[in-house]
Each structure stands twice: as C-alpha cells, then as structure tokens.
C-alpha cells in the first residue's frame, strides 16, 4: 500500500503534466482571486458576528449555530435585496428560532451586520 507522501507525489505528477498544467494554472489563478474577494467581504462580517455573540453572552459551544445562521444570511444578502431579502431572512429567523436559538440575538445579527430588519 502506498504511503500518503507517495500518493501526494503521484497526484502532483499527474496534475503538473504539460497537458494539464495550463488549464490548472488558469483555474488556480481564478480560484485564488475568487477566494480573496470572498475573504475580504466575509471576514469582517464574521468578526462582527463574534462581537455580537460575545456582547450577548452566548456560550462558545453555541457559536456554530449562529455562524451557520450568519452564513445563510450572507448568502441571502448576495442573491437578493429589498423585500425578498426580508422574506428570506424572516424564514431563516423562524428556522433558527425553532432550533431554540435566541430570537433577539438572531435579529441583532440580521439588523447589525446585514441591515435586514426582521419583523
């Protein structure tokens, strides 16, 4: 059986062949640019989320649920705006309230970070 290092070396040898390399180089360049744009947009929102959760006194064991809510709101903010964003965010809010997350904290996340007012 091959070791991990042998498998990685074999994969790298296949992927860095002269036939595949130009395509992968172009894709890798686009992937790096896309990730950089995503990270510069999303990371400040994640930091703001942590500040809200710390101020609300949420236990760190519950952060993952609020981070999932933040991720879904981020997607909503990217695909819609206006009334449709409010409707989608309201549905998300109801979903996470049914999971027993704090409704005031969820509304604060939507309002403070994404400027979406949930009724």
Residue 76 belongs to some domain of the structure: yes
Report pLDDT for 10.
Answer: 76
Domain that holds residue 94: 4-114
Structural domains in the chain (count): 1
Residue 66 and residue 49 in contact, taking contact as beta carbons nearer than 8 Å: yes
pLDDT digits over 61-100, tens only? Answer: 999 999 999 999 999 999 999 999 999 999 999 999 999 9
Residue 88 belongs to some domain of the structure: yes
What is the dihedral sign for C-alpha 32, 69, 113, 117? positive
List the CATH number of the domain containing 38: 1.20.58.800
pLDDT digits over 9-52, tens only? Answer: 777 776 666 666 676 777 777 877 788 888 889 999 999 999 99
Report pLDDT for 104.
Answer: 96
Residue 119 belongs to some domain of the structure: no
Report pLDDT for 7.
Answer: 79
For 70, which DSSP code?
H
Q: Which residue has the tokens 């981020």?
A: 74
Residue 75 belongs to some domain of the structure: yes
């Amino acid at each position: 059986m091959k070791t991990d290092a042998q498998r990685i070396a074999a994969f790298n040898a296949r992927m860095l062949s002269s036939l595949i390399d130009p395509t992968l180089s172009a894709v890798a360049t686009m992937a790096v640019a896309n990730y950089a744009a995503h990270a510069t947009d999303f990371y400040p929102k994640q930091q703001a989320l942590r500040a809200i959760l710390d101020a609300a006194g949420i236990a760190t064991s519950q952060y993952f649920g609020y981070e999932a809510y933040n991720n879904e709101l981020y997607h909503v903010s990217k695909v819609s705006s206006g009334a449709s964003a409010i409707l989608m965010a309201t549905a998300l809010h109801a979903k996470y309230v049914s999971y027993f997350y704090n409704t005031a904290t969820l509304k604060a996340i939507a309002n403070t970070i994404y400027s979406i007012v949930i009724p």
